[in-house]
């Protein structure tokens, strides 16, 4: 079992929903993002999604696009992102870490080298949004063999014909995108999400975690109430963009986590 599998098993036993937080590695700089990352578990975060900055983030809205630009302009690299994970692991060997991003930096490094280095650093799973199931031989299957969960996204347009393909070789959890469009584009609506989550859960035993469009503790609670947990990214990254102190950002995250955990 990976840390992700163990975390969701523990949450099930406790009757609790998961809260997942996304931050961009290296935004606004390596030191600040590592300090923020280290503070997330104490703020109630169950799983950390760590963004790998990339020059062409097609699934992301302006806030996360700009975060990636800031990170890259500050000298963030894939190696430095892996180093962040390794530094985090020196003080926390339990919180699951998922790297989220795009395939180009991984391909450039080389899949075998990347997987070896990611596993050694303490990464537990991958979300690579531009690799469809038809390309599973490229990274998904090698990642699974290396002991890393490969987490897939489903969307409101993932119909009954497509869903089995999306679920194939997916592990850890399924990430349901609550809206059509890019991150941060609209607000998630629990009434619209609930039947879609139920449809997906009828087809898989994997936890279904919902992201995109969650900005408040109230929405986190409502969404977690109809799923296995909630993900927040843009609302957190926006505070980084505004140069809020790490302590203030973590207080905001704590409120979101309490909302999700109250579901």
Dihedral sign for Cα 103, 241, 186, 188, please: positive
Taking the C-alpha atoms of residue 195 and residue 214, their distance in angstroms, rounded to an integer, is 18
**Residue 60 annotated to the active site:** yes
Task: Outline where the chain has alpha helix (H).
Answer: 3-14, 30-39, 62-73, 78-89, 103-109, 111-121, 140-145, 163-167, 190-201, 217-226, 234-241, 246-261
How far is C-alpha 60 from the geometric centre of its chain's CA atoms?
A: 13
- Nearest CA to 129 out of 94, 156, 103 is that of 103
Catalytic residue among 27, 29, 31, 49: 49
**Residue 29 annotated to the active site:** no
Catalytic residue among 27, 46, 60, 136: 60
By annotation, the residues acting in catalysis are 49, 60
């Amino acid at each position: 079992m990976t840390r992700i599998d163990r975390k969701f098993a523990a949450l099930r036993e406790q009757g609790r929903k998961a809260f997942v937080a996304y931050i961009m590695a290296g935004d606004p700089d390596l030191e600040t993002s590592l300090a923020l990352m280290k503070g997330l578990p104490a703020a109630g975060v169950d799983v950390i999604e760590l963004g790998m900055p990339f020059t062409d983030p097609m699934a992301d809205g302006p806030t996360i696009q700009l975060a990636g630009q800031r990170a890259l302009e500050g000298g963030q690299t894939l190696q430095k992102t892996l180093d962040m994970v390794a530094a985090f692991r020196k003080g926390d060997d339990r919180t699951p870490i998922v790297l989220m991003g795009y395939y180009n930096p991984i391909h450039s490094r080389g899949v075998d080298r990347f997987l070896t280095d990611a596993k050694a650093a303490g990464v537990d799973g991958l979300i690579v949004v531009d690799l469809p199931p038809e390309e599973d031989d490229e990274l998904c299957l090698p990642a699974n063999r290396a002991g890393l969960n490969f987490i897939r996204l489903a969307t409101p347009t993932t119909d009954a014909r497509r869903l089995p393909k999306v679920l194939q070789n997916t592990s850890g959890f399924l990430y349901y995108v609550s809206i059509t469009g890019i991150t941060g584009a609209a607000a998630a609506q629990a009434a619209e999400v609930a039947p879609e989550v139920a449809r997906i859960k009828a087809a898989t035993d994997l936890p279904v975690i919902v992201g995109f469009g969650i900005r408040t503790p109230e929405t986190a609670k409502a969404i977690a109430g109809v799923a296995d947990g909630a993900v927040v990214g843009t609302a957190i990254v926006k505070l980084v963009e505004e140069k809020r102190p790490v302590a203030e950002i973590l207080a905001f995250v704590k409120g979101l986590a309490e909302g999700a955990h109250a579901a």
